[in-house]
Structure 1
Amino acid sequence: MNWYDFIASPLWVSKPSLWLVGALCVLLVVPLSKVFISFKLSTAWRIIIYAASSLLLTWIFLGDAYKASLQYNKYCREESGMHVYRTVENVVSFAADSGSVAAGSLYRGYSFSEYEDVGNKLFRVSGEGVELIKGRVKGFNKKEIYHFESKYYIYDKSKILSEQIKKKNRIIEVRETKEVLEELINFYYYPGWMDRKIWGWLGDYTPPRCDTENHIWGLYKKVLIPVQIVTD
């Protein structure tokens, strides 16, 4: 056991929530003072009762965020990051599940890349631009990536772990065998009930993730090594 198994550091709570809970704890002095006077409690008992009441109030408002912060921090420490299982060389091209990922091929030494867009339209990205290579495929099954020419496929897979934590994997695999060559694992934190109320008033919320650095460019170099990089 370590201290971070019990103490959430950092605690993923917004400053407005902390300020509000702090203000409520201060306001507790008013009703508790009447109780202290009525029962003629000693200073020691007053401190104990006030501290216990403040902790209970804080747990009611922020308890879910505290527990989720412990879990989220643990996931970030132990599972997040880039996990490379095997590298391949002399890679000519790759397929992806988005145009933004496929566009990276233009700057990383690949001959071309492929991706699927809305409506099952397939595109090829190369030095000559973006080319539509196939229109809508009738009865298309996304689990069967049979229509791409490229041997390797880059895609994202997400899983909801709890109401406040989502896991996202960016995976590189061999299309035919489904062998996973690499996983870029990240976790996203979503606010507790109190912060959800506050962000509902304040506007959009961008969930923090374990690693803010975008490793996608590192994937090209470390896993799918283009022909140019190998031969230079």
Structure 2
Amino acid sequence: MESLLWAMTRASGHVRPASRLGLVAVLGFLLPVVAFRGLLVPLVGAVSNLATIVLGLGALTAIFQWGWASGLLGVGEGAPISCLVPVMIVGVMFGLSMDYQVFLVSRMREEWTRGRDNAWSIRVGVAETAKVIGTAATIMLCVFSSFGFSGQRIVSCIGVGPALAVVVDAFVVRLVLVPALLRMIGDRVWAYPRWADRVTPRLAVEGPSDRPREVEARPADVLVGAARSGGVGASEPGRR
């Protein structure tokens, strides 16, 4: 998904960088709308993705262009940043942010379709995806940090910016801010207009359908039910 969005954005070479970033945000909003069948959840995800990207670019500017900590990294004093670096950081961070958002919200959506309990859905979604998101973010942090101490200015820029952004995105935005916002909004966060539901294709990321289905009884369940009713084990000594 992320590669497709970024390829479509790069194809629009005549668009200014700010407009291009806005186009990425719009596309990142529309596809989750189709997947999660809601408006507020994709909106929160798109805004948080932009916030993470801005954070990474801001940290990059402060460290390497303003020279706040460039000496500690062994890349000299502050100087303008290569135009290639922001493009790569935007692509990488948009992909990682979307991945974490899909991990988190898809689990919440699955619980919501089962019980229609927003608080419970958020609690289960965070509890069952926090380890995955945290582990993935820690791995990426180690990889990006190794680039940051390479001594080469461009390579260090590519490493430090995403390293700071991925930590904030995973541990602050995805696991704290996004669940808090969804909890504050309440059940309305999963609302979807009927006219949009009729024209939107079915693309549920958690399964072939976003509607709860009856689960067929397994043989083990049948035996347990029979045992409770006395059909199994009734002939055992001491039981009636």
Same fold (TM over 0.5): no
Task: With the length of structure 2 as denominator, give the TM-score of the two structures.
Answer: 0.26
Compare the two structures and name the one with the higher strand fraction: 1
TM-score by length of 1: 0.27
Structure 1 or 2: more helix by fraction: 2
